[in-house]
Structure 1
Amino acid sequence: MGILKGTLPALLTPYSNDRMINEKEFIRYCEFGIENGLDGLFCNGSAGDSQALSIESQVRLMKLSKDASKGRVPIITGITSSVYKNTIVLSEEAYKLGLDALLLAMPYYYKFDEETLLEYIKDLALKVKLPLYIYNIPLFAPALSLNFIEKISKLNNIAGIKDSSGDALLLNHILDMVPQNFDVFVGREEIYAEALFLGAKGSMTSIGGIFPELMSAIYQAMNDKKYERALLIQKSLLKVIRFGMSISFPMGFALLLKARGFEFANATIHPLSSLTKEKLDICFDKAKELIKTLEKETGIRL
């Protein structure tokens, strides 16, 4: 149903010294990804600080993504919010800007049963004007059961799902139960190759934007049936994923992107303690060493 496939990045948001979006660097970051094999752009996700940004800032990131793409690749934007009206506003702005799809996680903070969440999705699916992907991210929002996912897969205008549970068993069952025209994307880099083998359409991950050369190489290797090559690259990425998650999310991933040469005056929009800043400075050298190790292990120049 959807037009998305392949390797998409969960784009981080670079900030300047005043904790405003560094627009020039964001566009350079998008261009870097497209030039290195990405099949689309995904802005306003968890890695991009979406839930800490104003509506205006999220809309600005949509426009910057559109400008950077220049029609070369499709763009999907997150529209998640616990404020129903904000979700509608974000979807309308995405449509006006000519984006291609929307990604929605369930409302967080207040707990709802699955029947209520199902009505929530049905209601939004009727209102939004772009294909809607549902986001299963138990780390931050209500976890979606297999039964729930099967139900939403049959709704009109629900194009697919991004599953960031990291649960390979759940992913296997999702792919077995949903209709063929329901797109399944994996949100965890650790199981990208396996997900593609099982029938997933692609991935939307933080590492996809930081190391687009490697994530797109996994996708290509799987398409070429070079399974050992795909698994070798994926295994090599595990160490940088652990590094990224060892620091408060998404700051560890921002540090990796900074080590690749991008300007991140601040790793998050929030104020940081001096102790945290010191930790980030110490970890920066380790991030650069990890990049050298990736080059050596994969044979891909970074």
Structure 2
Amino acid sequence: MDYGRLITAMVTPFDEQGNVSLEQTAKLIDYLIEEQKSDALVVCGTTGESPTLNDEEKLQLFEFAVKHAAGRCKIIAGTGSNNTAHSIHLTAEAEKLGVDGVLLVVPYYSKTNQEGLYRHFEAVAASTKLPVMLYNIPGRSVINMTAETILRLAEIPNITSIKECSSLDQLAEVAGLAPEGFKVYSGDDAATLPALAVGAYGIVSVASHFIGEPMQQMIHAYLEGEAAEAAKLHQKLLPIFKGLFECPNPVLVKSALNERGIEVGSVRLPLVPPTDAEAARLREIL
């Protein structure tokens, strides 16, 4: 499975009552494909506020995204959690709905060991024919899945990629030693270009809600040997990469989308909207 170079971790649009809005989801999908040049979308990832979505909402969004995208981009369903049995169940339901792959986060809170991580992902992968993207994010899951464990998992045929958010050193090690065809994606917008330089295939991005096209230009400039041009683009985009995360994600993303006329509503508790000063700061950066 090739998801392309630029994958957007899509926010989940809510209406004024805080319910999922499929009408606005349709408009957001069109905008991300047509204007921001996303190659694939992650639906119900953590940027999509997955911890506050119930299963019914997630399955509704998976089904809707597949039908509305209609082959214009790949749809990756966020089906991972710290409950292996539930991850297997949600993955099976997503597979029935026609998604192109699933994203499985490192189990959070439980703080299992490396063997527990291996067995968790092995069990979910064995339950599906879908390609699996691992998601290693120590800053949110508390534990780091080591390069050794990732490389063990990469030998499983349908574990085909990883979203890596630990360190450039670990990303480089995995990219250099993984089986042919296994793709490593950075999960840190600000590290997109450095990650490409040490072997990443692409980026699972939040900033691509706003600057997807220049990010594609930066990626392809680097791939075409125009490193200096890619560096200039990186330097220009860096304030946006950093500014979007001055509040917990996706607080500022949703606020800025609303200001641009892409109505996605607010965030669900325990997240709260930005202050006027925080919103103004991002407005200035953008």
SS at match of 1:99: coil
What's the counterpart of residue 164 of structure 1?
Answer: 165
Residue 232 to residue 190, structure 1, CA distance change in 2 (3 Å): same
What's the counterpart of residue 294 of structure 1?
Answer: none
SS at match of 1:270: coil
User: How do residues 1-302 of structure 1 correspond to structure 2 at under 5 angstroms?
Assistant: 2-36=1-35, 37-141=37-141, 142-165=143-166, 167-266=167-266, 268-270=267-269, 277=273, 279-291=274-286
SS at match of 1:204: strand
Q: How far off is 1:124 after superposition?
A: 1.5
Distance 1:25 1:131 in 2: 28
Q: How far off is 1:181 after superposition?
A: 1.5
Task: Supply the AA of the counterpart residue of 1:3.
Answer: D
Q: How far off is 1:271 after superposition?
A: 6.2
Distance 2:91 2:189 in 1: 27
Q: 1:259, 1:284 within 8 Å by CA — same for their partners in 2?
A: no
Structure 1, gaps ≥5 residues long: 292-302
Residue 90 to residue 283, structure 1, CA distance change in 2 (3 Å): same
What's the counterpart of residue 300 of structure 1?
Answer: none
Distance 1:6 1:234 in 2: 16
Q: Residue by residue, what CA displacement relative to the aligned partner does 1:97-135 show, whole Å, maximum 9, x if unpaired?
A: 111111101221212111122112222221122011111
Q: How far off is 1:30 after superposition?
A: 1.3
Q: 1:55, 1:86 within 8 Å by CA — same for their partners in 2?
A: no
Q: How far off is 1:161 after superposition?
A: 0.8
Residue 45 to residue 188, structure 1, CA distance change in 2 (3 Å): same
Distance 2:132 2:175 in 1: 18
Residue 189 to residue 286, structure 1, CA distance change in 2 (3 Å): same
Q: How far off is 1:168 after superposition?
A: 1.4
SS at match of 2:139: coil
Q: So what's the TM-score if we normalise by structure 1?
A: 0.87
Distance 1:18 1:151 in 2: 45
Task: Supply the AA of the counterpart residue of 1:23.
Answer: L
Distance 1:170 1:194 in 2: 13
Q: Residue by residue, what CA displacement relative to the aligned partner does 1:37-73 show, whole Å, maximum 9, x if unpaired?
A: 2111111111110112101111122122213311111
SS at match of 1:12: coil
Distance 1:137 1:35 in 2: 29
SS at match of 2:138: coil
Q: So what's the TM-score if we normalise by structure 2?
A: 0.92
Task: Supply the AA of the counterpart residue of 2:77.
Answer: T
Distance 1:228 1:68 in 2: 38
Residue correspondences, number = 284
Task: Supply the AA of the counterpart residue of 1:261.
Answer: G
